[in-house]
Amino acid sequence: MAPPRLSGLLLHVTSLPSPFGIGDLGPAAFRFADFLAQTRQQLWQVLPLVPVAYGYSPYSSPSTFAGNPLLISPDRLVEEGILRQEDLSDRPDFPEDRVDFEHAVPFKFGVLERAFARFEDGETGLNPADFEGFCAQEADWLEDYALFMALKSEYGDGVWTAWPHELAHRHGEALRHAHHMHARAVRLHKFWQFLFARQWNALHQYCHERGIRIFGDLPIYVAHDSADCWANPDLFFLDEQGHPTVVAGVPPDYFSETGQRWGNPLYRWKRMRERGYTWWTRRLARTFKLYDLVRLDHFRGFAGYWEVPAEEETAVNGRWVEGPGASLFDTLRHNLGSLPVVAENLGVITPDVTALMEQQHFPGMAVLQFAFDSDATSDFLPHNYQPSLVAYTGTHDNDTIIGWWDDLPTSQPRHDGSLAGTGKAYARAYLGLGEGDEDVHWAFIRAAMASVASLVVIPLQDLLGTGSEGRMNVPGRESDNWAWRFAQDALSKGVADRLRTLTEVYGRTDRE
């Protein structure tokens, strides 16, 4: 049986309109779900919903299990009686088109502190038993996370290896004492996770009622300065002080002569296998509670990964090491049942990666922006797609279609008169474009929608025809990422009608 043909939009929650400086799980999120339903979209892809740290990247977090408190909606807290309207009276005048991290972060945490204080004083109407039940249900990750965050605050946000030795290395008596000394802070972080779960679950249910699936994202690695690493040091290659001995990255390639040294600690896969991949089972179980479908970032690392000695400043002097392969996914499937997973297979993909994907029946990805630097045999051109595929115009790491198009060179015909497979000339011929650029983004959307790929996801920036100012992330750039936001009036009737028409014309309206 052929897989259903579905389509959707990629939009991180932080990019939603909000009066509080950063998109959240409030009214605009529900309006966006309505827009998806109105245009017959059935997928909403988001970036990781985890707390953010340095650089505000959702791919570098103090916890792979926790939700980002910055996504909690103050509007909804007021609606539920957890806050009062006057609690928001000190709101700064935030810009509408960007996330103002500098001012939004302290404002939101101040609001959340007030919510916790009201809860502790019994002024919210929330049932304490519901909170205690949540804490008990999520205890296997919540206890470590809440204490980790409390200690981070106590020690000036320093990395956990710089804490007092008995805390860094989790001596039992020291942990018990820390729990007692920081009981309020621990409880505060648990309460914020409770609020996040309430609001996320409400939005998730709202989407389900409208036939919309949430498509999440799971990085393969976790940050060294995280509750995940602190609470499970024996599952990573760390020295006696807790510092990584080897770190993750990718080798030198066409794009970088020194490769990419990511710095994440690497897993002790042999030890994880001996323990039945318990930690990964917990991680995926938590992930599947949040999302209906999950993109596994850097999937090739499960087949084989690039190991870089921690003392190296670049990724040049690394080596390939065999990953866990099928044993991990076979165990996860045994423990969890079906695995609704999409493999992020971009970059240099070797036969072992393809074989693992095929064995596990995981669909891969194709990005249309990558299609015009080769020739007609490119795997990224729609006529070469396979049904088991998720097709994109671009991803969060790409420029927008309009920004990319503006920088795309115009190639010249070959000596035999045929078009080269690169540049605007070939793209215009392939997409049936004239000389004008007014509807370039719609031509790319149409090409993806018309393909045989079972799933198509369009970044909202590409749907709106946003230029490079809408780019979400520039890999390797340390600042000014993750900040794009859209205005509510951008989702016009004209945009909605055109998207709905393409969705219906190309049969992407299957409902289960």
253 is catalytic: no
**DSSP conformation letters of 348-405:** S--HHHHHHHHHHT--EEEEGGGGGBS-TT-TTSGGG--SSEEEES--TTSPPHHHHH
CB of 455 within 8 A of CB of 388?
Answer: no
Would you report the helix, strand and coil content of the chain in percent, each value rounded to 5? 45, 15, 40
297 is catalytic: yes
- Considering the candidates 87, 138, 344, 399, report the single residue annotated as catalytic: 344
Give the helix ranges, DSSP H, for 155-277: 165-168, 172-181, 183-209, 227-231, 269-274
279, 281, 284, 286: CA torsion to nearest 10: -80
- Considering the candidates 297, 352, 379, 439, report the single residue annotated as catalytic: 297
With b for 16 or more beta-carbon neighbours within 10 A and e for fewer, the 121-145 pattern comes to: eeebebeeeebeebbeebeebbbbb
Q: Which two tokens stand for residue 52?
A: 């953010």
Please give the single-letter amino acid code of residue 280: W
Please give the single-letter amino acid code of residue 56: Y
| Cβ atoms < 10 Å from Cβ of 245 | 14
Residues in Cβ contact with 234 at an 8 Å cutoff, skipping those fewer than 6 apart: 268, 271
Please give the single-letter amino acid code of residue 172: G
- Considering the candidates 312, 397, 437, 439, report the single residue annotated as catalytic: 397
CB of 273 within 8 A of CB of 319?
Answer: no
Residues in Cβ contact with 459 at an 8 Å cutoff, skipping those fewer than 6 apart: 9, 10, 11, 392, 393, 394, 395, 396, 400, 472
Which H or E element spans position 250?
Answer: strand 246-250
Dist. CA 193–CA 72, nearest whole Å: 9
399 is catalytic: no
Q: Which residues pair with 5 in a beta bridge?
A: none
CB of 190 within 8 A of CB of 184?
Answer: no
Active site (catalytic) residues = 297, 344, 397
